[in-house]
Amino acid sequence: MRLVESPDVPESPQRQEAAQDRAVGGRRHLVADLAALIRPSHAAKAILLVPVALIGAPAPSLAEVAGVIWATVAFMIASAAVYIGNDIADRHRDRLHPVKRERPIASDRVGVLTAGVCCAVLLAMLAAIVARAPASSWPVLVYLVLNIAYSRLLKHIPLVDVGTVAAGFVLRVVQGYEVTGDRVPAWLLITVFSMSLLLLIGKRRQELLEAGAGHRPALRGYSMELTNWLLQIASVLALVSGLMYLRDEGPFGPQHGQTAMMLSTPFALFALFRYLQMQLVEKEGGDPVRVLLRDRVMVANSMLWAAALGVMLVLVHHPSLAALVHL
């Protein structure tokens, strides 16, 4: 004889607690997946590049500092919206990739509709920020248009794909100078563009190693030999242009620019050597953010380099201190 539980009998406290735990756990996972969609670690791109315009500025006003902060936030929001849009467009292709198939949309942990709503909210926030200073916000708007073209067409064209993404990094730098109203150093733009190419070519090389050319159509226009040559060319251009920026257009002035260039040379060379070691020996370097922010050797070198240039910058702007060390 089968007993049927009466619907009037309330659930036990244990069952209610378990249901509540499942609901809370589900919401936590959804929040974590939504956070993963916007790539929080990639916000470092805007945080590192947009405020460059303030480095070496004699006395930036509070309005300029506030404007740069808003511009940084605008690029962080714009890039987050772009990431979501790209993940929606690439969800079917990402499912074929050994790593990208774990992304929230590709793995169906976040639905397309939910992701689309998040993207729309981010774009609305961006519009509110741009409305504060529309005249100086053209770089972030160009960035959005460029990424729409990239998602629709340019990402499938070999060489053009990495050039388009590298241009986005240049626009971040230009945005900072648009806010401050200063002239954009040409050597700095070349440095940022060539460094971005170096990291992006390394990423394409790693994708060839991990999944072959089937995952990304543009990879059919690359080979291991070609990426090796491109890494060398981009490395030389990044090194030369970066040192020329420090000598001719950097915040140290014409009197101390050559000293800054000489001081930076060993750090710059070591950074390039380490990156090439990761690419060619350790078979890593597919994630540019991980290379710059999580590799201990690279981080230690960058901190020592920044400390050396920071001390020199203080001495340059405080001649009395410079006289004590005979700079």
pLDDT tens digits, residue range 124-143?
999 999 999 899 999 999 99
Residue 272 has pLDDT above 90, yes or no: yes
The pLDDT tens digits for 280-299 are 888 776 677 777 778 899 99
Q: Name the residue ranges covered by the structural domains of the chain.
A: 37-181, 185-327
Taking 70 as the threshold, does the pLDDT of residue 14 lie above it?
no
> How many CB atoms sit inside 10 A of residue 247's CB?
19
d(CA 194, CA 207): 20
pTM of the shown model: 0.84
pLDDT digits (tens, 9 = 90+) for 227-236: 999 999 999 9
Distance (Å) of CA 282 to CA 17, 32, 98, 243: 49, 31, 19, 27
* Predicted pLDDT at 21: 46
Tell me: the pLDDT tens digits for 70-108? 999 999 999 999 999 988 888 888 887 777 888 888 888
The CATH fold of domain 37-181: Tetracycline Repressor; domain 2 (1.10.357)
Q: Is the pLDDT of residue 301 over 90?
A: yes
Strand extents, DSSP E, 78-208: none
Q: Which helix (H) or strand (E) holds 41?
A: none
- 143-172 pLDDT, tens per residue? 999 999 998 899 999 999 999 999 999 999
The mean predicted confidence, pLDDT, of the chain is 86
Q: Is the pLDDT of residue 44 over 90?
A: no
Per-residue pLDDT, averaged over 28-46, amounts to 84
